[in-house]
């Protein structure tokens, strides 16, 4: 549920030690317009504006909880403004939150840069704060990655990996010697989530949505089923969607009433333009198969992510196209064939 209002005020109503994870991306400094009555902070004022929120974040977090902050710096007058580093430094001097780790979000499609003296900007910061490192929930087993195929081949070529033998506690007992077999490895601290642009699957045109992969990853890593997740800058409710799919409780705060209404519809399963339009699936001969009320429903049904074309039909770029051997059309809802509701 997304609550309408100023997060600096709404969070004061949240009880102490009641939230397992806070994950959010606040309005960036000097970057985009998030709607009427939402002020964009200048880099010089950003820390003074945001840091008071850190005190309440510390208060409402459980001792085992985490605060995940996605944010990026800005370049003006030819130089990078260091306010992000000031924010981290001051957070450790002025609040009780503990700075646990830094992650990098590598975006596959970087922001175009007109300067011939700058590289493409393909990264953003993700900062991890905790309340108590000793009590921290952190489920590494949920995010382990498959060992790289080339690594396995290299081990086989060098005679370091043999498939026979018994494996005990991750160690293969191979007769003459014990060999460590790593079928799964720890991920590195560079995350490669899909970009916000590729996920802009909303008709309300939020200027900076993030992909559902981002909150999903950290919800799996840092919480259990039934835990409470808070997004203090909830936007159009992407964190809430991830929570619903992963059986977590969700609370969101958002100042823009249009985003609140749209986000709550997404989370409740009403989808995009659900009252008027559906995405109809047809076979190669034009025979109707079924209707979907959102790209999320299509993703869940087929078990694989939708490509940009499916997102684009909801932005008015296309009304029909072919994908996965089927024809897809955005058409008026006749309220009879919609069998797949997004959840």
Summarize the confidence of residues 26-54 as an average pLDDT.
77
- Considering the domain architecture, whether residues 213 and 85 belong to the same structural domain is answered as yes
Q: Are residues 322 and 202 in the same domain?
A: no
User: Is the predicted pLDDT of residue 180 greater than 60, yes or no?
Assistant: no
Asked which of 154, 185, 216 is the last residue of a domain, the reply is: 185
Q: Is 271 a residue whose pLDDT tops 70? A: no
User: Which pLDDT belongs to residue 159?
Assistant: 55
Average pLDDT, the chain: 79
Pairing of strands 178-180, 171-173: antiparallel
Domain count, the chain: 3
pLDDT of 343 above 50: no
Q: So what's the pLDDT on residue 28?
A: 79
Same domain? 224 vs 104? yes
Domain boundary among 228, 248, 268: 268
Residue 31: its pLDDT value, please?
58
pLDDT score of 117: 83
- Is 76's pLDDT higher than 60? yes
248, 268, 288 — which closes off a domain?
A: 268
Determine if the pTM surpasses 0.75.
Answer: no
37 & 121 share domain: yes
pLDDT tens sequence across 305-316: 665 556 555 555
Domain with 313, as residue range(s), is 277-340
What confidence tier does 341 reach under pLDDT thresholds 50, 70, 90? very low
């Amino acid at each position: 549920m997304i609550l309408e209002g100023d997060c600096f005020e709404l969070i004061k109503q949240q009880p102490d030690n009641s939230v397992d994870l806070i994950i959010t991306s606040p309005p960036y400094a000097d970057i985009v317009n998030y709607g009427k009555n939402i002020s964009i902070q200048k880099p010089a004022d950003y820390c003074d504006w945001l840091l008071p929120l850190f005190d309440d974040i510390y208060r409402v977090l459980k001792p085992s909880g985490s605060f995940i902050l996605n944010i990026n710096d800005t370049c003006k007058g030819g130089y990078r403004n260091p306010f992000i580093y000031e924010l981290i430094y001051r957070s450790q001097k002025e609040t009780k939150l503990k700075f646990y780790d830094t992650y990098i979000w590598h975006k596959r499609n970087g922001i175009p840069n007109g300067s011939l003296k700058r590289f493409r900007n393909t990264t953003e910061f993700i900062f991890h704060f905790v309340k108590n490192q000793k009590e921290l929930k952190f489920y590494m087993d949920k995010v382990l990655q498959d060992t790289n195929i080339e690594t396995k081949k290299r081990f086989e070529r060098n005679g370091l990996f043999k498939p026979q033998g018994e494996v005990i506690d991750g160690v293969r007992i191979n007769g003459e010697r014990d060999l460590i077999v790593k079928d799964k490895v720890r991920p590195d601290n560079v995350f490669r989530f899909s970009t916000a642009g590729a996920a802009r699957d909303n008709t309300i045109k939020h200027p900076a949505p993030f992909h559902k992969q981002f909150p999903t990853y950290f919800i799996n890593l840092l919480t259990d089923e039934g835990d409470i997740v808070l997004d203090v800058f909830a936007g159009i409710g992407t964190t809430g969607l991830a929570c619903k799919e992963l059986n977590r409780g969700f609370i969101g705060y958002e100042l823009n009433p249009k985003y609140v209404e749209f986000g709550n519809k997404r989370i409740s399963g009403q989808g995009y333009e659900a009252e008027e339009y559906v995405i109809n699936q047809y076979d190669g001969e034009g025979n109707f198969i079924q209707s979907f009320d959102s790209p999320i429903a299509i993703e869940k049904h087929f078990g694989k992510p939708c490509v940009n074309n499916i997102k684009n039909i909801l932005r008015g770029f296309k009304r029909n196209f072919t994908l996965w051997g089927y024809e897809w059309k955005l058409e008026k809802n006749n309220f009879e064939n919609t069998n797949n509701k997004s959840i």
